[in-house]
Chains A and B, each alone.
Chain A
Amino acid sequence: MSWLAELRTAALLGTGRHEPPSPPGDLGFQPPDGLSREESLLDQAALADVVTRALRRASSIDRAIGTADRHNEAAPPDDAPEVSGDAARLLELLLTQPPVGLELRAQLVTDWLQLATESRRRVPHRLLPALLTLAKTKRGIAEHLYPAIGARGRWLQDIIRPEEAAVSPGSVTDWAELGSADAAVELERLRLADPGAARRLLRTQWETFSTRERAAHLGTFATNIQAEDEDLLEKALDDKAKSVREVAASLLDRLPTSARASRMAARLRPLLRVKGLLRKQFEIDLPPDPDAAALRDGIAPDPRTGEPDRLGRLDTIIRGAPLDVWTTVTGRSPAATLALLEGETRVINAILDTAVLRADLDWVRALFSVRKDARLLNCLPHRERELSLVRYIRDGANPLSLVPLLRDMPRPWARPLAEEVLKLVTAKNAGQLAAMLAGFLSQAIPLDLADQCRGLLERSDEDAARRRVLRDVVQYQSFRQSLTEAFP
């Protein structure tokens, strides 16, 4: 044991129980005679202190950083020039002393990044850490970091938070080696870029997965689902695990041309009857107890105790069958068919779910006239979607019911919608509506309505929520103006 180690032991245990070591002779240290144990230990501690500090040596960098290459590479040079001083100051202001609320701040930083990208300039190096930190919690910002953060920014991201750097495409060969969480992420990415490749990949490895992995991986097919997916989904209906079968069934619900959809159509058709002289009575029967084929298609079996949920079985059949079963039975359009179904809330809900899942536009339009459901609106093409909403507002919609619809609308809005909403906000007693729109209205109002908003704010009353919303709009627009000027 070395001198220092012995000294340490004696000190820890105490000289009452452990004798201190003799001082090291080779340092030329000559203790005086007649020292007590305590004095000797303290003398040696003083020596150890000075010797340790005076003998301090640097670590070897190779040992310190190990073999991790990424710690060794300097950043590649930046080819884009830094933004102007004004633009840098505005970004710094947004990052360190935001003069606006947090939502607006995030939007303005995103705007700043877009403007920098358009003018082929980059973020000053010193502002990168604060920007990257903010991007960690704000997805909108994270999506616009490139190329504005430049080579230095990418390098920094790679070094300080490698797990967040973008997954490099084309790494599929090792997919089978990935852990199941990473594999799911990678499959999700591939599914987005190339659904066919994702399907082939999954099919080749299918047998090797655990139940949970099969269910999770199959679930990624919800993105970009297509007719070619049917084979694998149909096969999964025979899976031994219920969770996998359920995923397959719910995905097949989205494919109205599949074999399962035809089987569901055959189950639905006998349950529907239009009666009466004017053929205006719509009767819907409950489905019979499921046979083996029906069970395979995901219709619920009898529970162990109690009555079976027959209404639930009907929902399953409706969701699985093509929607044209309904129009064929009634011989009418979707709108007229829905009119016949008035009062059948549960059935209409099931039809609505189905139409949304399949983005069936005829049905979506017909349903939107009876149900103001945000999901329906989201299915419509952008322009039609805005127009439908404008029409709905002009028809006297309950303003509070608009909030979810407006929140999902891509921003900024077109002028007609923005004007309608401003009208609503400035109407009497609209304080509550204003408060509910506060989170996104400023980004939604197009820039050319800025003056109008300023005018509204000047005329505005004592309602605090309304004033705040209008002030946010004006602030956003004026800061946005400074941004545009800072990027010539």
Chain B
Amino acid sequence: MGIMVRWSEERVVGAAPDQASLTAARKLAHPGPWSDTGSNDVLVWGKCQGSGRTPYQVSVDTATPAYRCSCPSRKFPCKHALALLLLWARGEAADAGEETADFAQEWANQREDRAAARERRLSGQQPDPVAQAKRLADRLGLMDAGIADFSRWLTDLVRTGLAAARNQPYSWWDGVAARLVDAQLPGLAEQVRAMGSDVHARTDWADHLLFHAGRWWALTKAWAMRDQMTPEEFADLRVALGWATATAGVQGTEALPGPWLVLGAHRTDDGRLQQQRTWIRGPGGRVAVVLDFAMQGQALATPQLAGAELDVAVALYPGSAPPRAMFTTPVAPRGLVRSLGEGCSIAQALEQESAAVAASPWRERYPVLLSGVRVSAADPGWLHDGSGDALPIVDASLDSLLALTGGYPVDVFGELEEGRVRPLTVVVGEAVMTP
């Protein structure tokens, strides 16, 4: 099933850190300045004659992906790496079969050594149990106090009424959020902060605030009962409150081998934080989500192409299904699939979501693969299936969905959220595409 994956030009474009780099790369993307180019399953390499005497040595690990260039640019990847990838994507240079250039092989070896060393370091570290217990006790104390404070705020909120709360300035909400951050409850703080603008931006603000107040109230009650919870339930609660699970702890758990299929990905940017969600499915059909974060202005991890099969080991965070996951080995794309497999109807998808909410009432988003759904342009855009069920579309280019599907039934992978569906991937003909 796997074939050697040559990147598409779009994917190269997607890897560029900014427009200027891409423009510069396009100018270099002709065979003229290039020599000693080649590629194998993982690496693409070549030398680019710049203004200096020695040509720049460029190596790209297309699997991870990772880039290396001997030029002094601080852009990452630099224009040389992008230009090389463009040439390779177009089949104009760096054909497979050449013996790996020394500089590229050397770089690949160094990276392997470093990865191995990091693993040794992580497994070798033994934390001090006494200090750890103290830190935990301190944190729990802060959180207990914060939750108690937040419960009082909630009772005040409903005593004076939601209509009165809506008249509060944004700073009022922000103040509550800041107290929650101080109490080490950043997940909760984020929700309260978002509510400060939602009460003005949404037409259904009253229900939105009412239901969220209920959900927050349930969180405070759940916190008090945390000793009676299963580890899975407690993990979900931690995520909702924003108590992060240490990466090292997850890395230590059992790694699930691939191939993992990329179902689809979504990026958000709230002005301060960029987030990327990549939904993947393992050999047994288990679905998980890899989250990447980056501060404003920093580069997010390169998106994985929907429909790509990845040779990679995955470790799962604790929590109910579908769980968060992390890649524990370098990502090596095997090839692209032609279909995401059998999906379900809209009614079945909603039932699955319902079951997931019952298991974890804090869950706000649920991944679904819908089969045989058509796109309708009626405002605000709908997906509908053969039984006449329809879901409104959110956050997608309706024009693009219509252009790709032509109104014919297709398979769509997306996220259910607040009764709407966010289409991330469509399967048209024999191709998996991102609208």
Contact = CB atoms under 8 A, between A and B. Distances in A.
Contact of B388 (A36, A60, A133): A60
A391 B428 CA distance: 60
Q: Most chain-A CB neighbours within 10 Å: which of B23, B160, B211?
A: B211
Given A159-B402, A160-B402, A12 B161 contact: yes
Given A71-B377, A126-B404, A155-B407, A57 B350 contact: yes
Interface stretch (A61-69, A311-319, A463-471): A61-69
Interface stretch (A38-46, A102-110, A416-424, A429-437): A38-46
Nearest to A65: B378
Interface string B371-400: 000101110001010001111100001111
B217 A43 contact: yes
Q: Most chain-B CB neighbours within 10 Å: which of A11, A44, A57?
A: A11
Interface residues of A, number: 60
A166 interface: no
A152 interface: yes
Given A45-B211, A46-B214, A126-B433, A71 B392 contact: no
Q: Most chain-A CB neighbours within 10 Å: which of B154, B350, B357?
A: B357
B371 to A, nearest CB: 14
Contacts of A42: 154-155, 158, 213-214, 217
Interface in B210-244: 210-215, 217-218, 221
A64 B210 contact: no
Contact of B377 (A37, A47, A50, A159): A159
A332 B358 CA distance: 100
B159 A38 contact: yes
A39 B220 CA distance: 12
Contacts of A15: 158-159, 161
Contacts of A71: 376-378
A152 B377 contact: no
A8 B206 CA distance: 8
B403 A152 contact: yes
B346 interface: yes
B70 interface: no
Interface stretch (A72-80, A256-264, A371-379): A72-80
A239 B157 CA distance: 71
Given A50-B357, A64-B382, A156 B402 contact: yes
A8 B346 CA distance: 29
Main secondary structure of the interface of B (DSSP, over half): helix
Q: Most chain-A CB neighbours within 10 Å: which of B214, B221, B377, B419?
A: B214
A125 interface: yes
A132 interface: yes
B6 interface: no
Contacts of B408: 74-75
A26 B218 CA distance: 21
A89 interface: yes
A7 B207 CA distance: 10
9 contacts: A12-B161, A14-B161, A14-B164, A15-B161, A36-B155, A42-B155, A42-B217, A54-B358, A125-B406
Interface of B: 9, 13, 19, 22-23, 26, 90, 154-155, 158-164, 206-207, 210-215, 217-218, 221, 346-347, 350, 353-354, 357-358, 361, 374, 376-378, 382, 384, 388-392, 397-400, 402-404, 406-408, 419, 433
**5 closest A-B pairs (Cβ-Cβ)?**
A14-B161, A45-B214, A58-B389, A75-B406, A46-B214
